[in-house]
Structure 1
Amino acid sequence: MNTVVTSKEEILKASRELIQREGWSAVNIRSVAAACGVSVGSIYNYFNSKAALIGAAVESVWCEIFHRPEDGAVFQDTQACLTWLYGRMEYGCKQYPGFFSLHSLGFMGEDKADGREKMQQTWQHILEGLCAVLRRDTKVRPDAFNDQFTAEKFADLLFSLMLSALLRQDYDPSAVLEIVRRTLY
């Protein structure tokens, strides 16, 4: 039997491990309590519902997959950033099979709106990060962006290509990197 859970992070870690082994459908208050070796009431001390637990688990998975790298230079160069993002997508697919697929996104029904919100927050954070990297990248031509073709629009395009790659489980960034080279440099 596992040691007694004393923190929210330990509960989320157990939830992530359940997701890795058995998929999203395995995550509920009882299964997480059993995985942690604690009573159901102990889980309710941290999460007031299954939806709250699922939402926190979704956020925890996203944070694990897209944690900030130790090398901050990744966020100074568009190509390095995209290479890092595609590598993290591949890591996420291996660690959490199906997490990125439409099927797994469908697990967040009406009672799981918090999970969907956490996912959308993460997506928005990634999109805003891409915009920031595009603006900081010293290799980008000064005339690359204008009123009609903004850094935001290009970041949105890059993000759309990332989502498409996630659905196809294609983690080779070479085509996207070529688009960046031809468009910005």
Structure 2
Amino acid sequence: MNTVVTSKEEILKTSRELIQQAGWSAVNIRSVAAACGVSVGSIYNYFDSKAALMGATVESVWCEIFHRPEDEAVFQDTQACIIWLYQRMKYGCKRYPGFFNLHSLGFMGEDKSDGKRRMQQTWQHILDSLHSVLLRDARVRPDAFTEAFTAEKFSDLLFSLMLSALLRQDYDPSVVLEIVRRTLY
């Protein structure tokens, strides 16, 4: 058995593969060590606890699902961005069955605060991206936003609809696109 893993990324890749093959519960220090062909101690060189491994794994899954697209035009147009986000949600559900519904439940306990923090950071990144797209979208009417109804509040609404769609496993963006069309253009 090897005693050294070449990288933290290799451990996270293996953890993602375990989720794909056997679900969220398959990821623990021992199973990841076995899948990497290393000792348990080798995993602890990179992650000081199961909670740290789980948190980093969640973050890596979110990053894989919502990686920056090659086509930067996605971040210039609100509707294109929403279509891209829903496509990525569908991809994530297919690649990691049950991930969106189940992973957040694993962060209920106190020792899981790092994982919860990482998940919230990823969500904040998506929310900030939505907000930026709204501000860059040349098609948005100049009077679409007011002091009370800001681009930030609208991006919060869009993100809430996205999270709701994730939980329902509904990857059809047509209703959200209609809301955007009627509200902004």
Please give the range of the TM-score, normalised by the shorter of the 2 chains.
over 0.9
CA–CA distance in 2 between the matches of 1:115 and 1:79? 31
Distance 2:123 2:149 in 1: 21
Distance 2:22 2:113 in 1: 22
Quote how far apart the aligned CAs of 1:104 are: 3.2
Which residue number corresponds to residue 181 of structure 1?
181
Structure 1 CA distance, aligned partners of 2:20 and 2:152? Answer: 34
What amino acid sits opposite 1:63 in the alignment? C
Q: Distance in 2 between matches of 1:182 and 1:16?
A: 39
Asked if 1:149 corresponds to 2:134, the answer is: no
Contact 2:58 2:103 in 1 (8 A): no
Q: Percent identity?
A: 80
Aligned residues: 184
Q: Deviations over 1:133-169 (max 9, x none)?
A: 0000000000000101100111011111101111110
Question: How far 1:114 sits from its partner (Å)?
Answer: 1.2
Query: What does residue 90 of structure 2 align with?
Result: 90
Q: How well do the aligned residues superpose, as a CA RMSD in angstroms?
A: 1.5
> Which residue type is aligned with residue 112 of structure 2?
K
Cα deviation, residue 106, structure 1: 0.7
Where 1:125 maps in the other structure, the secondary structure is helix
**Which runs of 5 or more residues in structure 1 are unaligned?**
none
Which one-letter code corresponds to 1:78 in the other structure?
T
- Residue 70 of structure 2 is matched in structure 1 by 70
Equivalent in the alignment of 2:32: 32
Question: Do residues 106 (structure 1) and 105 (structure 2) align?
Answer: yes
Using the size of structure 2 for normalisation, the TM-score is 0.96
Deviations 1:48-90 (A, max 9, x none): 1111111110110010000000111100000000000000000
Verify the 8 A CA contact 2:12 2:60 in the aligned structure 1.
yes
Superposition deviation, residue 109 in structure 1: 2.8
Residues 105-124 of structure 1 correspond to what in structure 2 (within 5 A)? Answer: 105-110=104-109, 111-124=111-124
Supply the AA of the counterpart residue of 1:176: V
Q: Which runs of 4+ in 1 moved over 4 A?
A: none
- CA distance, structure 2, for counterparts of residue 71 and residue 183 of structure 1: 25
CA deviations over 1:20-71 (Å, ceiling 9, x no partner): 1111111111100000000111111111111111111011001000000011
Distance, in Å, in 2 between the alignment partners of 1:176 and 1:22 is: 33
The residue that corresponds to 1:140 in the other structure is 140
Q: 3-state SS of the aligned residue for 2:99?
A: coil
Distance in 2, matches of 1:160 and 1:68, equals 21
Alpha-carbon distance between aligned partners in 1 of 2:145 and 2:37, rounded to the nearest angstrom = 55
Gap runs ≥5 in structure 2: none
Residue 115 of structure 1, CA deviation: 1.2
